[in-house]
Structure 1
Amino acid sequence: MRNALFLALLLSTAAAATPSLAGEIVLKPTTVQDMKAVFGQVESRDTAPARVRTGGTLVSRTVEEGSVVKAGDVIAVVADEKLALQLQAVDARLKALDAQLDNARTELERGQSLVSRGAVTQSRLDQLKTSVDVLQNQIEAAKADRAVIEQQSTEGQVLAPKDGRVLTVPAAPGSVVLPGETVARIAAGGYFLRLALPERHAARIKAGDPVSVGERGLGPAATDSAPRRTGRIVKVYPELEGGRVLADVEVEGLGDFFVGERVPVWIPVAERTALTVPANAVMTRNGIDYVRVVGDGGPLDVPVILGRATSDAGDKRIEVLSGLRAGDRVVTP
């Protein structure tokens, strides 16, 4: 009785460990791409500097590194004390010109009343009219000067040139800045990956080639088994730098990355022929991988050495380095 129970248990265990036979495939060499693992560096499409339009003292700054800004936001204010003094001088000049104009108009009215009685000549009346016109034009010029100074005062506001994230803020409040000096650098226009590959691969890569992009960071999430996203090469630079060719890769969803962060990327650099089997055709027992093939005497489990996993039309396949050859009939569960 015990022997019968033991035999039944052994048969059930073997049946559970042995996959059911559903079909077979004939191994044929297929073309696979060799992928080179590199690191891509996150870059922003545009780096827009927020510059000072007028010199002075940086009195306030509303952003820090990492702040998100919109185009037109006031991110800093620059004040020039000389502008306030110039406004006071223009206002004083306007008051003096207004007083002179009132006096000139009074003289003109008096001259108009006396010219009819012959007490004032016509030439003197023309001079009085000219004096009034000159003073009015001087007042308009002074008002224009005041408008220029007011515009310079408003240009002390440093505006964000584009939507984006602030990378650096080199100027601190209280420091003296000159016209054209950068107050903040803003990463704008989205993000992409920049690759630097050895020059021997320069002839193999081109715009439009697909690449695999790993997860961000250098922790467990960035391992080879982690899910990958698909990107494509959009630009290959014609100039080599330090024996390396530069290429830009577009990937969706790079908006949350840090500029300058490195991300693992796998890029195709060569093609070769190999034998691949479906991933579910591989059995592992005692640390050894087996693939069941159909021989002359029936199914036979052949030990194999496996390579990297590939995909063929959405089906996961594994490269077989040794143990099988072209023409073998592989049993697929």
Structure 2
Amino acid sequence: MWSALLSALLQITSVETHTVVPEAVLDEKAVFATVESVDVVGARARIGGVIGELLVDEGDAVAAGDIIAVVVDERLAPQIGAVNSIAAALTAQLEQARTDLARAQDLFDRGIFAQARLDEAQTAVDVLENQLASARQERAVLVQQTREGDVLSPTAGRILEVPVTAGSVVLPGETIAAVASELYVLRLMLPERHARSISEGDSVRVAGAELTGDVAATGFIRQVYPRIEDGRVVADAVVDGLGDYFVGERVRVLVGIEERLTIRIPAAYLETRYGVDYVRVRDADGGEQDVVVQTGERRGGRIEILAGLAAGDILVQP
């Protein structure tokens, strides 16, 4: 008899229990976010002309400084040819002037040539040297303009848009391609009533299954924009693994709004019978009874209890 009572007592004391304690939870709001590049910059033409060669297309990855297109100004080649001809003529005149100066210096040294004539020969050489240097500088400017026909990528990233084709006529400053930088974020749009509930560094949860590639389950808010547009506040969240291809892809994101006190219990203490949820509560006399509860969100092996329990209740695992 005593052994039976002892075994029953050991069985009672070995039953796992859980004391109900209210805990703070963060309420989350589900919003749709889009994958965006932090910066989208335009690769612009530095000179006007015709696109002689287009080297990229939408979706191509580029590095900073890569040549995207080549703009050809057909007026530059004749101008360079004209400057080359002028430089050649000045070079010939300079050689003749230096010969005349050497002859005048020899005559002056022998005392049969006036100082004024020698100075005139020296001046002629100086003038031609300066004119030749000016022609060479003008040629260097024209050559640099031809080099500026190379349209360079302003940043590393991916080509989003190419609004021109080979043979198109472009003006200086016209956009040849739009380049998305390599830093991608999730751009959130929340109702303005939540504007003061979010701040930089707050965590977000991502429904990563909706995105392509290996996307992290959580991220953090990188920036909250101060301007509210159409009743919404805009924020950017950094999430690892967003990739760099499908800009504009949509995904559902859960953003923490405010904290509140609630009751959460391990899922093992909940029992469902005929569609009704029960928990077993131990009363002050040591007895046990099943109590009907209303459940809420399940997260991480724990279930929120909306009604049916109070702080201090002792739960017995069924």
Q: TM-score, normalised to structure 1's length?
A: 0.82
Distance 1:270 1:216 in 2: 26
Partner of 2:152: 159
Does the CA contact (< 8 Å) of 1:192 and 1:248 recur in 2? Answer: yes
Partner of 1:324: 309
Does the CA contact (< 8 Å) of 2:23 and 2:264 recur in 1? Answer: yes
Residue 306 (str. 1) matches residue 291 (str. 2) = no
- Per-residue CA deviation, residues 4-35 of structure 1 (Å, 9 max, x unaligned), is xxxxxxxxxxxxxxxxx741112233222221
Q: Structure 1's 228 and 164: CA in aligned 2 closer, same or farther, altered over 3 A?
A: closer
Residue 76 (str. 1) matches residue 65 (str. 2) = no
Runs of 5+ consecutive residues of structure 1 not aligned to the other structure? 1-20, 222-226
Does the CA contact (< 8 Å) of 2:50 and 2:73 recur in 1? Answer: yes
Partner of 1:10: none
Partner of 2:229: 241
State the identity %: 51
- Per-residue CA deviation, residues 236-294 of structure 1 (Å, 9 max, x unaligned), is 23322111122222222223462222221111223333222102222334444332333
Residue 53 (str. 1) matches residue 46 (str. 2) = yes
- Per-residue CA deviation, residues 204-240 of structure 1 (Å, 9 max, x unaligned), is 2222222212215389x9xxxxx97222223323322
How far has the Cα of 1:190 moved from its partner? 0.7
Report the residue type matching 1:305 in the other structure. Q
Distance 1:262 1:58 in 2: 35
Q: Structure 1's 268 and 125: CA in aligned 2 closer, same or farther, altered over 3 A?
A: same
Does the CA contact (< 8 Å) of 2:281 and 2:316 recur in 1? Answer: yes
Residue 255 (str. 1) matches residue 248 (str. 2) = no
- Per-residue CA deviation, residues 131-188 of structure 1 (Å, 9 max, x unaligned), is 1221122112111111111111111111111111111112221111111111111111
Does the CA contact (< 8 Å) of 1:68 and 1:165 recur in 2? Answer: yes
Q: Structure 1's 44 and 195: CA in aligned 2 closer, same or farther, altered over 3 A?
A: same
Distance 1:22 1:183 in 2: 73
Does the CA contact (< 8 Å) of 1:59 and 1:79 recur in 2? Answer: yes
Q: Structure 1's 85 and 326: CA in aligned 2 closer, same or farther, altered over 3 A?
A: same
- Per-residue CA deviation, residues 102-146 of structure 1 (Å, 9 max, x unaligned), is 332333344344445665433122212211221122112111111
Report the residue type matching 2:282 in the other structure. V
Give the 5 Å matches for 1:95-110. 95-110=88-103
Runs of 5+ consecutive residues of structure 2 not aligned to the other structure? 1-13
Distance 1:53 1:257 in 2: 28
Does the CA contact (< 8 Å) of 1:190 and 1:255 recur in 2? Answer: no
Partner of 1:264: 252
**Comparing 99-108 with 181-190, which one deviates more in the overlay?**
99-108
Partner of 1:4: none
Three-state SS of the structure 1 residue aligned to 2:208 is coil
Residue 139 (str. 1) matches residue 128 (str. 2) = no
Distance 2:103 2:262 in 1: 111
Aligned positions, number = 303
Does the CA contact (< 8 Å) of 2:51 and 2:70 recur in 1? Answer: yes
Report the residue type matching 1:138 in the other structure. Q
How far has the Cα of 1:73 moved from its partner? 0.9
Does the CA contact (< 8 Å) of 2:158 and 2:244 recur in 1? Answer: no
Q: Structure 1's 53 and 257: CA in aligned 2 closer, same or farther, altered over 3 A?
A: closer
Q: Structure 1's 256 and 148: CA in aligned 2 closer, same or farther, altered over 3 A?
A: closer
Partner of 1:282: 270
Partner of 1:210: 203
Three-state SS of the structure 1 residue aligned to 2:240 is coil
Distance 1:297 1:116 in 2: 133
Q: TM-score, normalised to structure 2's length?
A: 0.85
Distance 1:39 1:185 in 2: 25
Does the CA contact (< 8 Å) of 1:47 and 1:187 recur in 2? Answer: yes
Three-state SS of the structure 1 residue aligned to 2:306 is strand
Partner of 2:7: none
Distance 1:169 1:35 in 2: 40
RMSD: 2.6
Distance 1:257 1:229 in 2: 19
Report the residue type matching 1:310 in the other structure. R
Report the residue type matching 2:167 in the other structure. G
